Amino acid sequence: MNRDQLLKLGGQLDGVELVEYPDQWPVKGTRAERRAERVVALWFAIAGLAGLAFVVGLIWWPWQYQAPGQSGTFLYSLYTPVLGVTLGLTVLGLGVGILLYTKKFVPQELAVQQRHDGDGDGSAEIDKKTIVAHLEDAGARSTIARRSLIKRSVGFAGGTLGLGLVALPVASFIKDPWKDSNGPDSLWHTPWQKRFPGEVVYMRRNTGKPDEVVLLRPEDLDAGGLETVFPFRESDRSDPEALTSIFLRSDAPVMLIRLRPGDAERVVKRKGQEDFNFGEYYAYTKVCSHVGCPVSLYEQQTNRLLCPCHQSQFDVLHYCKPIFGPATRALAQLPITVNDEGYLVARHDFIEAVGPAFWERKQ
């Protein structure tokens, strides 16, 4: 039996009566038909171009953070909108193209079927054949086989969307995080790293004015006090951009804590970091070891630091090891001292990466 015969038989066996089954374009090649085809292809082409723009934007658009006032801020601020608009347009184009194609070219049949109960044995062979014939007929009558313009445009749109979906997870591997792990901008180091041997990295107060440099001396902090400090080096003093950008580095802020004299005597130091403090002054990264929120609440009476994101608590008297909440790693400690001028300075960078416990995983 050919497809038409199987189609008819399938309808009879199922008790389906085709009330209407019109050909969408009974006269082939009319201007209206060609116009409909071009409109469908246009939407798929839009989807394809938008998908291509998404991939290009994802990889090459300037995505690195630029603070307000810095050059490139405007382009940076467009990164997320560009990705959202292009990906949205891709999905929209594909959706509208498919809808229009269904409306214009797929036969709109009107069929009536009497309901019947199955006997639990699954579909009979003849039912399977007739349903396949039915699907083939729908495909053939939708004329997709001879519409190369639509096939090419939908292939283009689907291809670029697929490329975008592949590019999303792959893009994160384009920059190798393991490369240059000694560099100042690597994930293993912070701005507290000395740029050359002997460089002095001071502790700086954030006064809210980037060009106002206030360095800290031990007497600036009361017993039981905490202050968030940032690194400062003399070579940055006349560089407004460097003075501003240090406040934008997420790994720069450090909590400088001055313990009360009675508490200082009870401190348990971390093995290998016994000389990281200066008297009762201790410095810990502000980056929470759970998922990186800023730890900022200091409870003086219990000597605990609290991260407001998920309530992790760190015991300051025990090298800031976690004692409550989801964090499982102690906060990284910055080794500090006081230089000849009487200022608090970092002896060197942290000896471990700051942030989540991921960094303790072995490669």
Instruction: Single out the segment in contact with ligand FES by CB under 6 A; choices: 24-32, 64-72, 90-98, 308-316.
Output: 308-316
| 312 in contact with ligand FES (CB under 6 A) | yes
Find out whether 57 and 88 touch, Cβ atoms under 8 Å: no
Distance CA 297, CA 316 (A): 12
Find out whether 25 and 137 touch, Cβ atoms under 8 Å: no
Residue in 320, 200, 206, 199 with CA at minimum distance from that of residue 253: 206
Over the Cα atoms of the chain, what is R_g?
34
Distance CA 132, CA 3 (A): 9
| 288 in contact with ligand FES (CB under 6 A) | yes
Smaller CB distance to ligand FES: residue 106 or 291?
Answer: 291
List the one residue from 257, 290, 333, 355 that touches ligand FES (CB under 6 A): 290
Smaller CB distance to ligand FES: residue 10 or 355?
Answer: 355
Q: How far is the CB of 190 from ligand FES (least distance, A)?
A: 18
Number of residues that bind ligand FES (CB under 6 A): 12
Distance CA 187, CA 340 (A): 31
| 286 in contact with ligand FES (CB under 6 A) | no
| 357 in contact with ligand FES (CB under 6 A) | no
Cβ burial, residue 282 (10 Å; 0-12/13-18/19+): buried
Q: How far is the CB of 356 from ligand FES (least distance, A)?
A: 8
| 327 in contact with ligand FES (CB under 6 A) | yes
Q: How far is the CB of 325 from ligand FES (least distance, A)?
A: 5
| 134 in contact with ligand FES (CB under 6 A) | no
Cβ burial, residue 259 (10 Å; 0-12/13-18/19+): buried
Smaller CB distance to ligand FES: residue 163 or 357?
Answer: 357
Find out whether 290 and 309 touch, Cβ atoms under 8 Å: yes
User: Phi-psi category of 117—alpha, beta or left, where left has phi over 0 and alpha has psi -120 to 50?
Assistant: beta
Alpha-helix residue ranges (DSSP H) falling in the chain = 3-14, 31-60, 73-77, 79-105, 125-141, 148-171, 240-245, 261-264
Smaller CB distance to ligand FES: residue 9 or 293?
Answer: 293
Smaller CB distance to ligand FES: residue 6 or 354?
Answer: 354
| 78 in contact with ligand FES (CB under 6 A) | no
From edge to edge, which strands make up the β-sheet containing 313-315?
A: 297-299, 304-306, 313-315, 321-324
| 307 in contact with ligand FES (CB under 6 A) | yes
| 326 in contact with ligand FES (CB under 6 A) | yes
Instruction: Single out the segment in contact with ligand FES by CB under 6 A; choices: 107-115, 249-257, 289-297, 343-351.
Output: 289-297
Instruction: Single out the segment in contact with ligand FES by CB under 6 A; choices: 148-156, 244-252, 321-329, 343-351.
Output: 321-329
Q: How far is the CB of 209 from ligand FES (least distance, A)?
A: 29
Q: How far is the CB of 281 from ligand FES (least distance, A)?
A: 24
End-to-end CA separation in angstroms for the chain: 64
Distance CA 58, CA 172 (A): 10
| 325 in contact with ligand FES (CB under 6 A) | yes
Q: How far is the CB of 358 from ligand FES (least distance, A)?
A: 13
Nearest-10 crossing angle of helices 79-105, 31-60: 160
Smaller CB distance to ligand FES: residue 150 or 327?
Answer: 327
List the one residue from 16, 89, 291, 357 that touches ligand FES (CB under 6 A): 291
List the one residue from 310, 328, 339, 351 that touches ligand FES (CB under 6 A): 310
| 270 in contact with ligand FES (CB under 6 A) | no
Site residues (CB under 6 A) for ligand FES? 288, 290-293, 307, 309-310, 312, 325-327
